[in-house]
Chains A and B, each alone.
Chain A
């Protein structure tokens, strides 16, 4: 089955700096890669996603890049703000077994310091 690895597990940046989180996946048939933000005790919330027919997608301060050949994708947050502090999860949509199940990475705890 699909396996998603995520790095780093923790990331501390100064307010205004950029943050980059990287993920790799194993199933070359995966074609959907969402990123979720989860604040403490809250539900995961989709912040951006990318499909395999696109190499890059941007939404204001957030961008995601996808390299299908290398099977890795990255989340970029620019001009970080304290409210960006949360755990971020990458995921890949696995095609095996039917359906649209998501395989998640282990998460990155992002801390934006003043």
Chain B
């Protein structure tokens, strides 16, 4: 039973380019959460998605960031026109049903470096 998968593991972009981060949840999980971890800081919630629905995007920056979780395929976090401040580790987590108090399992993260 494969765990949460993320790719790429490392991504280097120049300022102004686009970054696309992918997350495949654990088998049987239909709820995905994205968190951002700035260097030497804790994880900050960004967005919570169910298949084809954004449930809570209260942690997403208003501009340049978007997320989706299509019916088929992985969840994607998209950052347009990246800036140096976007450099961080981006983790996704998944859970089976999204019930309150349900364990979230984390992926290995994508480390984004903006030059």
Task: Please report A residues at the B interface, Cβ cutoff 8 Å.
Answer: 1, 6, 31-32, 34, 36, 42-46, 49, 51, 89, 93, 95, 97-107
Contact = CB atoms under 8 A, between A and B. Distances in A.
B91 A44 contact: yes
Interface string B27-56: 000010101000001111100100000011
A43 B91 contact: yes
Interface of B: 31, 33, 35, 41-45, 48, 55-56, 58-59, 91, 95, 98-109
Contacts of A99: 31, 33, 48, 55-56, 98
Contacts of B98: 99-100
Nearest to B111: A41
Contact of A100 (B41, B58, B99): B99
A44 B99 CA distance: 20
A30 B108 CA distance: 27
A101 B106 CA distance: 13
Contacts of A105: 42
Contacts of A103: 45
* Max chain B Cβ within 10 angstroms of own Cβ: one of A6, A36, A51, A101: A101
Given A93-B100, A104-B42, A46 B55 contact: no
A93 B100 CA distance: 7
Contacts of A36: 106
Nearest to A29: B100
A101 B41 contact: no
B42 A98 contact: no
A76 B98 CA distance: 28
Contacts of B56: 97-99, 101
B102 to A, nearest CB: 6
Nearest to A46: B103
29 contacts: A31-B100, A32-B101, A34-B104, A36-B106, A43-B107, A43-B109, A44-B43, A89-B43, A93-B101, A97-B56, A98-B48, A98-B55, A99-B31, A99-B48, A99-B55, A100-B31, A100-B99, A100-B102, A101-B48, A102-B33, A102-B35, A102-B43, A102-B45, A102-B104, A104-B43, A104-B44, A105-B42, A106-B41, A106-B42
